């Protein structure tokens, strides 16, 4: 592996051993305080034999601060109880043709951290272990091959000797990093991988000591808030700051330039910034502003106009993005044709920690402390605002109070940079909850038209999905109009390649709503649509919905899968999970009227999940979710406790969103503003029982951040239909259930 | 000048009397375990105890805490580093994901257990109104039952 060639060993000031990748500075120049203090190294053996392992990825609640260091610790062969984990900063290195990673890729998106670092981090651990073995062998004057390790020690059985890693650190640090790829452990020898492991920094969390971005406090920093245009792509026409400037603590007020309509976003909106000596003073200053807005190009836009546009588009013909076999012929011959339309609303990410960012632009360099899913995006945002070269921009990462895709976009980092540059000092920008709900890169909204043709035996012979949507690639640089569909329709998804005659068609809705990646992006919409429609087909043709799925998924085989999560997809892995959840929920049991079970399953970014839901709908339409059984196959579960947490969290996120959530637009403005009208689920909506099952497969892990989410919404809708006969085709479910029983 | 106690230490605040306790704790006293989530007393990320009762720091004005005892998440640990049983139960059940709301959840759970030492699931659902966007509710529920058992056994 190429990245291994960058590994370098060295000595800490306190006599410990480091294994890191200081590709910029020679080791002798490494600041010892920096090395032993907080940054830049994957492995540090301390004199007391404790081990510090660096975590390079942003921790947004997906558990990588625990699971990534587990990979290093496993191959280094140390006791997990002796490990301390430290967050590493962004590491980028300037090369002749741009920038490359110093510590491997860093980012939280697409459920990729475990998959991408599985080999790399185990090799880091194994390399360090080999260097410690080599040091012991040299000391004992034996071959390295005659030595082995036990946690924290090198052992030579022939000599009957053992020595702690810490006693070898000084010598190991002087040895060259082995050229050859290290030998990795066999899974049967794992002591850490596969063992349920608690959140590594949980004590800091439950005692209030964890540092999130919002907790950043740097001496002399200012506090800022921004009043952004409530109108999509609206701009500041004029503003009166006379009252704002009189608020005690307010230091400065100035306009923030927004993006030009249709152009890529650096920041989300035009607005007016208020800088003060405290957050509250800045907020009070903002309240006192009088701003006249130019309402911009979308002031007529509303949710109603959006759906009208979708309907009009679907009455015409769109961009065919997949066309297998002879769909039209099959539909003509079909004994039965089933059609349905499904509506997916915009939704807000609403991470619990509102957006915030600390930036200090200081002449020829900048320091950033940001809760971000994309630290390199933060570095690019600062460079774009300031013109600074990226190697002079230090990005520190904090624990992140939720991401869900929102913090893949660093607009708030760019805003903070604009403010710091303008005032010439350090600033912490704080968004309010209202700012966050009203200014987001929302999950795209769309109208899906589905049609399936069946033959006399009930076999699906033709299938088409026509989607009119406002896609998330809107205003992305370097994406052509013909490529817009690719973010909303993953053309190799089930049932492509299984139903031979299949067409997928795309229509782009024009909208001023900013759109972006929302946890499991298009899978949340497509799983709801496809897995609801499969049930509709089953009911229309007198088949059992579970059996119909099992028949379609078929034998274990690798189907080519060209989108993220490929290169293959094995539909049988969904069958295995479905049968498991069906058994656990007692699928075939006869239940009293009003109570029923629904199932669904989905393949997301390389991982497989299935849900079974048992619920009751009263004669008045009151929904009571009794029990959810969720199962996931993410290959090897590096940390089963973390995998279960992600499956629980994904299920509840999916449930909360499907039941309750939508963002609507009126007069070119987002209607919702805070948790009173954007009603994220609370404890009261939880099912009495939530069971999670992790079914292992093969010898490689896939990520877990997103796959627990997509199949819960259709399982709920399918169970509701089975319980009361109401088929819900529009999200959120609760609104529609209410309507049906009104 | 408003004087009150935070985690048994006397503090004073001389700014705008309408300033919410949340921002006094965070910006002035540098006690950042109490989190900002909504600013309208809805999500509970800022839950603290004022004279022993769970309160939303984001909607408690400075003027209303004069002379009172405020306890934050940082004030639960004993001087010897011993955790409150609810904190320990949170660790035992491995509750947090992102962790942002958990300080407020713990403060709310302590309040619940004070009023109702052995709550049912339905009672937990009724009383625990704090939002957890990561969806750790099922583990929160388990942790409350565990803490309840620990605290009853401890008596």
pTM above 0.80, yes or no: yes
pLDDT in tens, A254-278: 999 999 988 999 999 999 999 999 9
Question: Would you call B19 and A280 a contact, using CB atoms and an 8 Å cutoff?
Answer: yes
Given a cut of 70, whether residue A614 has pLDDT beyond it is yes
d(CA A330, CA A571): 24
Give the DSSP letter string of chain B. -EEEEETTEEEEE-S-TTSBHHHIIIIIS--TTSPPS-SSS-S-TTEEEETTEEEEGGG-BGGGGTT-EEE-GGGSS-TTSPPPHHHHHHHHTT--SS-TTHHHHHHHHHHHHHH-SS--HHHHHHH-----TT--HHHHHHHHHHHHHHHHHH-
Q: Does the pLDDT value for residue A103 go beyond 50?
A: yes
Nearest CA in chain B to A519: B134
What mean pLDDT comes out for the span A712-734?
98
pLDDT digits (tens, 9 = 90+) for A314-323: 999 999 999 9
Give the pLDDT of residue A171: 84
Q: What is the pLDDT of residue A10?
A: 63
Burial class (CB in 10 A: 0-12, 13-18, 19+), B140: buried
pLDDT in tens, A291-322: 999 999 999 999 999 999 999 999 999 999 99
Q: Which of A248, A645, A681 sits opposite B94 (nearest CB)?
A: A645
**Contact state of B135 with A400 under an 8 Å Cβ cutoff:** no
Stated length of chain A: 742
Band (pLDDT 50/70/90 cuts) for residue A177 is: confident
Phi and psi at A148, nearest 5°, equal -140, 180
Residue A694 CB burial class (10 angstroms; 0-12, 13-18, ≥19): middle
Provide the phi-psi class of A319: left if phi over 0, else alpha when psi is between -120 and 50, else beta: beta
| pLDDT for residue A3 | 37
pLDDT at A11: 61
What confidence score (pLDDT) does residue A110 get?
83
pLDDT at A16: 60
Q: What pLDDT, on the 0 to 100 scale, is given for residue A42?
A: 84
Using a CB-CB distance cutoff of 8 angstroms, which residues of chain A are in contact with residue B102?
205-206
* Confidence label for A648 from pLDDT (cuts 50, 70 and 90): very high
Closest Cβ opposite residue A686 in set B28, B96, B125: B125
Residue A27: per-residue pLDDT: 29
Summary mean pLDDT of chain A:
93
Q: Between chains, do A207 and B33 touch, taking CB under 8 Å as contact? A: yes
Which residue in chain A is spatially nearest to B43 when comparing CA positions? A675
């Amino acid at each position: 592996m190429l990245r291994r060639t960058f590994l370098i060993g060295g000595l800490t000031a306190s006599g410990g051993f480091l294994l890191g990748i200081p590709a910029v500075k020679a080791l002798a120049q490494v600041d010892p305080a920096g090395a032993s203090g907080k940054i830049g190294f994957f492995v540090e053996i301390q004199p007391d034999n404790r081990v510090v392992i660096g975590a390079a990825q942003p921790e947004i609640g997906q558990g990588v601060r625990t699971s990534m260091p587990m990979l290093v610790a496993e191959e280094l062969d140390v006791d997990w109880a002796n490990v301390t984990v430290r967050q590493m900063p962004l590491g980028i290195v300037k090369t002749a043709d741009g920038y490359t990673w110093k510590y491997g890729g860093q980012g939280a998106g697409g459920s990729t951290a475990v998959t991408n670092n599985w080999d790399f981090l185990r090799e880091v651990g194994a390399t360090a272990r080999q260097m410690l073995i080599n040091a012991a062998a040299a000391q004992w004057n034996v071959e390295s091959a005659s030595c082995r390790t036990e946690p924290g020690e090198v052992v030579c059985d022939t000599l009957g000797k053992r020595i702690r890693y810490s006693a070898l650190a000084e010598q190991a640090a002087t040895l060259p990093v082995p050229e050859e790829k290290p030998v990795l452990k066999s899974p049967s020898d794992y002591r850490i991988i596969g063992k349920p492991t608690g959140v590594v920094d949980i004590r800091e969390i439950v005692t209030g000591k964890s540092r999130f971005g919002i907790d950043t406090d740097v001496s002399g920093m200012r506090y800022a808030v921004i009043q952004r245009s409530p109108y999509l792509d609206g701009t500041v026409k004029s503003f009166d700051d006379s009252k704002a400037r009189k608020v005690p603590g307010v230091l400065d007020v100035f306009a923030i330039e927004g993006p030009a309509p249709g152009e890529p976003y650096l920041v989300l909106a035009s607005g007016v910034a208020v800088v003060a000596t405290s957050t509250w003073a800045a907020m009070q200053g903002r309240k006192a502003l009088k701003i006249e807005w130019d309402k911009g190009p979308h002031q007529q836009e509303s949710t109603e106009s959006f759906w009208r546009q979708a309907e009009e588009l679907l009455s015409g013909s769109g961009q065919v993005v997949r066309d297998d076999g002879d769909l039209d012929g099959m539909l003509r011959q079909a004994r039965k044709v089933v059609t349905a339309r499904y509506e997916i609303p915009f939704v807000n990410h609403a991470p619990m920690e509102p957006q915030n960012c600390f930036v200090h632009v200081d002449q020829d360099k900048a320091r950033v402390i940001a809760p971000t899913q994309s630290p390199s995006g933060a570095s690019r945002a600062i460079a774009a605002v300031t013109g600074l070269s990226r190697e002079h921009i230090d990005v520190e990462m904090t624990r992140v109070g939720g991401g869900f895709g929102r913090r893949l976009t660093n607009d708030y980092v760019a805003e903070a940079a604009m403010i710091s540059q303008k005032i010439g000092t350090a600033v912490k920008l704080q968004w309010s909850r209202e700012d966050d709900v009203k200014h987001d890169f929302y999950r795209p909204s769309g109208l899906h038209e589905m049609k399936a043709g069946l033959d006399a035996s009930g076999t699906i012979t033709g299938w088409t999905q026509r989607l009119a949507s406002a896609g998330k690639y809107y205003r992305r640089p370097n994406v052509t109009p013909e490529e817009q569909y690719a973010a909303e329709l993953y053309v190799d998804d089930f049932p492509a390649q299984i139903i031979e005659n299949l067409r997928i068609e795309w229509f782009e809705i024009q909208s001023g709503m900013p759109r972006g990646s929302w946890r499991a992006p298009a899978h949340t919409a497509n799983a709801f649509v496809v897995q609801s429609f499969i049930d509709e087909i089953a009911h229309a043709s007198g088949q059992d919905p579970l059996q119909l799925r099992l028949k379609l998924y078929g034998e274990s085989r690798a189907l080519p899968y060209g989108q993220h999560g490929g290169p293959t997809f094995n539909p049988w892995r969904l069958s295995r999970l479905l049968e498991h959840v069906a058994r656990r929920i007692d699928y075939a049991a006869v239940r009293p009227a009003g109570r029923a079970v629904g199932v669904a399953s989905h393949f997301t970014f390389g991982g497989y999940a299935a849900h079974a839901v048992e619920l009751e709908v009263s004669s008045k339409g009151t929904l009571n979710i009794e029990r959810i059984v969720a199962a996931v196959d993410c290959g090897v579960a590096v940390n089963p406790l973390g995998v279960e947490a992600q499956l629980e969290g994904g299920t509840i996120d999916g449930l909360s969103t499907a039941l309750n959530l939508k963002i609507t637009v009126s007069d070119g403005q987002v209607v919702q503003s805070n948790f009173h009208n954007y009603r994220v689920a609370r404890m009261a909506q939880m099912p009495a029982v939530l069971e999670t099952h992790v079914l292992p497969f093969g010898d490689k892990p896939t990520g877990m951040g997103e796959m627990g989410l997509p199949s819960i919404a259709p399982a709920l809708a399918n169970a509701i239909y089975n319980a009361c006969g109401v088929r819900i085709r529009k999200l959120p479910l609760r609104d529609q259930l209410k309507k049906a029983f009104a | 000048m408003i004087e009150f106690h935070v985690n048994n230490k006397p503090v004073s605040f001389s700014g705008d009397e309408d300033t919410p306790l949340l921002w006094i704790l965070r910006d002035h006293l540098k006690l950042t375990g109490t989190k900002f989530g909504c600013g309208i007393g809805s999500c509970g990320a800022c839950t603290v105890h004022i004279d022993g009762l769970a309160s939303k720091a984001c909607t408690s004005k400075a003027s209303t805490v004069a002379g009172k005892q405020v306890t934050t998440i940082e004030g639960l640990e004993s001087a010897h580093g011993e955790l409150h049983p609810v904190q320990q139960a949170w660790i035992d059940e491995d509750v947090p994901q992102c962790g942002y709301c958990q300080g407020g959840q713990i403060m709310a759970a302590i309040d619940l257990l004070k009023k109702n030492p052995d709550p049912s699931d339905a009672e937990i659902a009724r009383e625990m109104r704090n939002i957890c966007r990561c969806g750790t509710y099922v583990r929160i529920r388990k942790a409350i039952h565990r803490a309840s058992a620990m605290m009853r056994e401890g008596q």
